[in-house]
Amino acid sequence: MDILDILLSASFWAAAIRIASPLIFATLGELICERAGVLNLGIEGIMVAGAFAGWMAVYSGLGLWPGVAVAMVVGMGFGAVHSLLTVPFGLSQHVVGLGVTLLATSSTYYAYRLALPEVTSPPKITAFQPWEIPVLSDIPLIGPALFSQTPLTYLAFILVAVVSLVLYRTPLGLALRAAGENPAAVAAQGLSVTGLRMGAVIVGSGLMAVGGAFLTMSAFDSFFFEMVNGRGWICIALVVFGAWKPGKALLGAVLFAAFDALQIRVQQTPLGADIPYQIFLMTPYVLSILALIVMSRRAEVPAALMVPFNKGER
Amino acid sequence: MRLEPIANPSLARSTLPPALAIAATVVISSLLAMLAGANPFGVLGLILKGAAGSQFAVLETLNRATPLIFTGLAVAVAFRARLWNIGAEAQLYAGALLTVVLGTGALPWSAGALLPVLVLTSMLAGAVVLLVPALLKVRFGVDEVVTTLLFNFIFLLFISLLLEGPLKDPMGMGWPKSERLIAEARLPRIVEGLRLHWGFGLALIAAGLVWIVERRTTLGYEMRAVGLNREAARFAGIPVNMVLIKTALLSGGLAALAGFSEVAGLKGSLTLDLSPGFGYTGIIVAMLALLNPLGVVAAALFVAGIFVGADSMSRAVGVPTYLADIMLATALLLMVLAILLTRFRVVRE
């Protein structure tokens, strides 16, 4: 199969959109945190926790949507820990973030072993099924790619618009962005920088967890260790690539996912058979680094990102 | 609430918060062990016994601490200059890689000539691996947190590629592992008959040397200045970018020694599971040590003790081993908070 054939096949684009979905949730979550001035390196662990929590909730008898809610609440819990330490106490966002990732990952694995002590292969759940959108899903190429996805994918795309709208069109969004650019000005307006930042980290962490839950409840139907596999770190790169803007971040996630879907398909061609599979597995990470190199110069980093705000200081 | 610095912290102020952090970690872990059906009051004792209760346990803890001292030093040096090296894992594997490339027969020398060459080339390999993100940072402004993290994944895949290709041991029964080191490339034991190799001695020497570099040399002074305030350092005429590059070389080299010492001292060959995350755990070690090179030794022993002790505890009472990681994460988060509270008081508005 030729590369052009791959690029023109509907199944390729359907896969790209599917691969992009968890990245969109988590990238939006990270973007909200960073726009408020907090780097959240807990993302990787929070995705692991979300993946497990949502799946476990459904396995224990809850419905799929309540399962997503459970994942979100668990993510918000870890977000609360992160934000408490980094915002009012102003502790190093690097150290706390990595600590939260370790805490979330290890407590997830611990919980998994407690819940399923004897199993060798994890049980399956009935995952989200695709919703065919009437009429639209019949459009050639675009239909199967965009309008025959699972509901969580639609939710991801809707969220991009919602986050965009809130960030740029509401007083809350203005205050949130100001907390990341010039917190002293926010405080002078009588608003609580601490409240805004903590809220942003908690909500953002909830979205990261939903991104993780997508993996176990929509892309697959089971939970595996190592299943997040660096996706959280890639989302941090995607935030930079998207210049801290939801729309561009969406574009970055889809572009990235398209490359990922492409490498999987090229692996199966005669050309791909001669190349060690590790080269293909490396490409997402290499691409992320290349994207960072290209975008870092132009990007406008929120001015107060990683700068703690203590009202007493002037 | 806001934070207010305390001019002269009392003795209680400087000791109570860390003590409470440790106590809280123990309580939380014991409660979690209870969830797994263990007696919560026995957990701490079992961990202590497993970590230091016998000669075997102590040696096991010292062996486990060895790579953590190296990665802890690597992180401490880098974080001191506020270079966020989260890639010690990749640098560790770079050191291990050079050790097996040169130590499996390519250099048929005596141990006295071969071991120093392996130490230096490993360090060089680790330094180069961190040099790339450091250059990207100073040249293009690319955040090193993300690049070093992503490099860990790339480098491990690269090692996997080599272990299934050119470095594969033909006698390895199909397992992706390298050939074994020649006898001259193995680190001898410190005391004959006791399972503790000279990697541990090398780690202690490294900690001493790093302490000297940080406290007694111009580079050390510059590293601290760059870490405290990059703009002020630049204003004072310190070549900030050059200092960051030198810091990266030192940090990468130290992390690589963890790989060298694990292969040459303990394992004898390279496999993909050489490091169960020593690079990442080095961050915990460095933070618990407050980035002090000598403190890194103590912190590495503490962390290694928790791992070894929790392993033995979980075998004894059937608690999943992941409890050790939860303990460390909890200890880390509570300890950074406790250390802040030794210097600041919380004031309600």
Contact check, Cβ <8 Å, B154/A296: no
Return the minimum-mean-pLDDT range out of A45-59, A64-78, A233-247, B241-255. A233-247
- Residue B194, pLDDT > 90, answer no
pLDDT at A301 (0 to 100): 84
pLDDT band at A314 (very low <50, low <70, confident <90, very high): very low
- Which is higher by pLDDT, B21 or B169? B21
SS3 call for B179: coil
pLDDT at B249 (0 to 100): 98
pLDDT at B191 (0 to 100): 84
Residue B330's closest chain A neighbor by CA? A103
Query: Is residue A201 a contact partner of residue A38, using CB atoms and an 8 Å limit?
Result: yes
pLDDT at A60 (0 to 100): 95
Predicted complex ipTM: 0.92
Q: Is A88 on the interface with B (CB under 8 A)?
A: yes
pLDDT band at A313 (very low <50, low <70, confident <90, very high): low
Per-residue model confidence as pLDDT tens digits over A165-186: 999 999 999 999 999 999 999 9
pTM score, whole prediction: 0.94
Distance CA A216, CA A302 (A): 33
Residue B277's closest chain A neighbor by CA? A102
> What number is the average pLDDT over the span B202-213?
97
For Cα atoms B256, B261, B263, give the angle at the middle one, nearest 5 degrees. 100
Query: Is residue B226 a contact partner of residue B244, using CB atoms and an 8 Å limit?
Result: yes
Contact check, Cβ <8 Å, A240/B146: yes
> What number is the average pLDDT over the span A193-222?
96
Closest Cα partner for A285 from A311, A312, A256, A251?
Answer: A256
Distance CA A37, CA A185 (A): 14
Contact check, Cβ <8 Å, B165/A276: yes
Contacts of B40 (CB under 8 A, 6+ apart): B30, B31, B33, B34
pLDDT band at B66 (very low <50, low <70, confident <90, very high): very high
Burial class (CB in 10 A: 0-12, 13-18, 19+), B29: buried
Place of tokens 């691969």: A19
- Residue A7, pLDDT > 90, answer no
Per-residue model confidence as pLDDT tens digits over A126-145: 999 988 888 888 888 777 88
> What number is the average pLDDT over the span B25-31?
93
DSSP A278-314: HHHHHHHHHHHHHHHHHHHTT----TTTT----TT--
Contact check, Cβ <8 Å, A278/B158: yes
pLDDT at A34 (0 to 100): 97
pLDDT at A1 (0 to 100): 55
Per-residue model confidence as pLDDT tens digits over B281-308: 999 999 999 999 999 999 999 999 999 9
Distance CA B51, CA B66 (A): 15
> What number is the average pLDDT over the span B93-104?
97
DSSP A230-257: THHHHHHHHHHHTTT-HHHHHHHHHHHH
Per-residue model confidence as pLDDT tens digits over B157-175: 999 999 998 899 888 777 8
Q: Which of residues 154-193 of B touch A (CB under 8 A)?
A: 154, 157-158, 160-161, 164-165
- Residue A163, pLDDT > 60, answer yes
Query: Is residue A206 a contact partner of residue A68, using CB atoms and an 8 Å limit?
Result: no
- Residue A299, pLDDT > 70, answer no
pLDDT at B234 (0 to 100): 93
Closest Cα partner for A89 from B193, B229, B326, B17?
Answer: B17
> What number is the average pLDDT over the span B57-68?
96
Query: Is residue A304 a contact partner of residue A181, using CB atoms and an 8 Å limit?
Result: yes
- Beta-strand pair B2-5/B344-347: antiparallel
Q: Is B89 on the interface with A (CB under 8 A)?
A: no
Per-residue model confidence as pLDDT tens digits over A284-297: 899 889 988 888 77
